[in-house]
């Protein structure tokens, strides 16, 4: 909790809003939450600090800040995180003041933005781990602001940067979701070749990749997969060009794991009349009203439920505070943290049935999905080469 006390007048007039702050060197576009008073809280259990109980938390709001490296409009993970912010506003209006800051992919402002938010003194800061945010938080900001708690979302399960008890990591088993979309791609494939366009090579993206390859090879051990990297998560034009090249080489299904840039992959699939596979959110549903032609070619998406995870983090923080401080917690199909989005209506029922059966086998442990987090870089490269 912050160390300063609010006056009774503030308590009587405070209103709950959310701030949306542009990551820039000048003034910020914002809709700022009027802050309510806070009381000090302290408790300790071993090395892990405990927050107040739910009964205590209901009396005084907690300040929570969410910072994202990209911007809304990706129809994927960033948008999903923001939906979680909106849900927190609706469900915890009398217990939480929450702000949302987006950096629009401007890496030159990442560190300064994180420190600007830290200077505002929130009780908890939640950020995705990508784009270098994990190191900026775990190895720098968490040390400089030891009285603030930080939760890193979507980080590698093998990430070793968390060394303090004021940081917790939440990792997805995204490989389980892409195992299913890889299998779907192979079942829809007619040419013997499918495509895959990623933002860049890093631990989390490589985990997506491993699952996709394993799923496709589970259906067809001889399938060929064209794999390309954009170099960032914003260049949709380059992503479209790479996907078009893969389609020209014979890929009749192309998947993307590239954030906003990946929308270019789906656009290339639409123009070529082949299947596309989305990521992070149900991208067919996202396009259903605004671009029905695009929606129609998206067979499914490998989903990360960012909204529900964010709400869960908030609930756990203001409740029992059982977040994995000083460590990392991984969630997958079993926990509902990842899933395959509803498959397109015009996909044959037999294909849908096969995917459903595969999902059950993964959940029951009958199929063990490989993870990039548990193999070496050399083993990863060998695995990629196995489908070329």
Q: Are residues 244 and 156 in the same domain?
A: no
- Both tokens assigned to 329: 């917690």
Q: Are residues 40 and 116 in the same domain?
A: yes
Q: Average pLDDT, stretch 258-280?
A: 96
| Structural domain count of the chain | 2
Q: What is the domain extent for residue 139?
A: 8-172+306-331
Q: Are residues 98 and 200 in the same domain?
A: no
In a domain, 35, yes or no: yes
Ranges of H-type helices in the chain: 8-13, 54-57, 77-91, 110-119, 133-135, 142-144, 174-188, 203-219, 236-248, 263-272, 283-287, 292-297, 306-318, 349-363, 377-385
Q: Which range has the worst mean pLDDT, 20-29, 178-187, 316-325?
A: 20-29
- Using alpha carbons, list the distances in angstroms from residue 333 to 57, 91, 154, 312, 358: 31, 25, 15, 16, 12
Residue 47, pLDDT > 90, answer: no
Q: What is the pLDDT of residues 281-340, one digit of tens each?
A: 999 999 999 999 999 999 999 999 999 999 999 999 999 999 999 999 999 999 999 999
- Give the span between the Cα atoms of 314 and 153, in whole angstroms: 12
Predicted local confidence at residue 133, as pLDDT: 93
Predicted local confidence at residue 18, as pLDDT: 38
The pTM is what? 0.78
In a domain, 343, yes or no: no
- Using alpha carbons, list the distances in angstroms from residue 342 to 124, 268, 289, 302: 34, 22, 16, 10
In a domain, 152, yes or no: yes
Q: Average pLDDT, stretch 72-79?
A: 88
Predicted local confidence at residue 54, as pLDDT: 40
Q: How confident is the model at residue 125 (pLDDT cuts 50, 70, 90)?
A: very high
Closest CA to 228 of 244, 214, 217, 216: 244
Q: Are residues 356 and 221 in the same domain?
A: yes
- Give the span between the Cα atoms of 182 and 179, in whole angstroms: 5
CATH classification at residue 36:
3.40.50.2300
Q: Are residues 154 and 44 in the same domain?
A: yes
Q: Are residues 245 and 365 in the same domain?
A: yes
Q: Are residues 372 and 224 in the same domain?
A: yes
Q: Are residues 361 and 255 in the same domain?
A: yes
Please return the burial class of 382, using the count of CB atoms within 10 Å of its CB with bins 0-12, 13-18 and 19+: exposed
Predicted local confidence at residue 361, as pLDDT: 98
Closest CA to 256 of 68, 72, 73, 75: 75
Q: Under a CB-based contact definition with an 8 Å cutoff, are residues 37 and 63 in contact?
A: no
Q: Are residues 129 and 69 in the same domain?
A: yes
In a domain, 252, yes or no: yes
Q: Are residues 17 and 155 in the same domain?
A: yes
Closest CA to 153 of 306, 324, 255: 306
Please state, rounded to an integer, the average pLDDT across all residues of the chain: 87
Q: Are residues 101 and 246 in the same domain?
A: no
Q: Are residues 16 and 164 in the same domain?
A: yes
């Amino acid at each position: 909790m912050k160390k300063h006390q609010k006056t009774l007048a503030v308590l009587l007039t405070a209103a709950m809003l959310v701030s949306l702050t542009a990551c820039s060197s000048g003034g910020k576009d914002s809709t700022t939450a009027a802050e309510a008073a806070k009381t000090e809280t302290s408790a300790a259990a071993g090395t892990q600090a405990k927050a107040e109980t739910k009964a205590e938390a209901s009396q005084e709001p907690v300040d929570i800040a969410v910072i994202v490296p990209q911007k809304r409009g990706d129809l994927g993970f960033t948008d999903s995180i923001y939906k979680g912010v909106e849900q927190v506003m609706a469900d915890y209006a009398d217990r939480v003041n929450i702000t949302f800051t987006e950096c629009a992919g401007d890496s030159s402002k990442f560190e300064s933005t994180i420190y600007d938010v830290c200077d505002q003194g929130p009780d908890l800061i939640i950020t995705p781990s990508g784009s270098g945010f994990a190191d900026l938080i775990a190895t720098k900001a968490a040390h400089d602001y030891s009285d603030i708690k930080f939760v890193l979302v979507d980080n590698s399960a093998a990430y070793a940067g968390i060394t303090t008890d004021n940081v917790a990591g939440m990792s997805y088993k995204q490989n389980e979701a892409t195992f299913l979309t890889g299998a779907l791609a192979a079942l829809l494939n007619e040419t013997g070749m499918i495509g895959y366009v990623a933002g860049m090579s890093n631990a989390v993206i490589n985990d997506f990749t491993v699952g996709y390859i394993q799923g496709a090879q589970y259906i067809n051990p001889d399938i060929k997969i064209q794999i390309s990297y954009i170099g960032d998560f914003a260049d949709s034009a380059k992503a479209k060009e790479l996907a078009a090249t893969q389609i020209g080489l014979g890929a009749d299904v192309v998947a993307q794991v590239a954030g906003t840039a990946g929308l270019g992959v789906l656009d290339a699939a639409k123009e070529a009349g082949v299947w596309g596979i989305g990521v992070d959110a149900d991208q067919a549903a996202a396009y259903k009203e605004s671009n029905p032609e695009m929606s129609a070619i998206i067979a499914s998406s490998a989903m990360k439920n960012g909204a529900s995870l964010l709400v869960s983090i908030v609930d756990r923080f203001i409740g029992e505070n059982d977040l994995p401080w000083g460590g990392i917690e991984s969630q997958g199909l079993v926990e509902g943290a990842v899933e395959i989005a509803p498959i397109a209506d015009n996909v044959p029922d037999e294909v849908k049935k096969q995917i459903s059966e595969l999902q059950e086998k993964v959940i029951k442990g009958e199929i063990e999905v490989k993870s990039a987090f548990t193999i070496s870089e050399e083993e990863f490269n060998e695995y990629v080469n196995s489908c070329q």
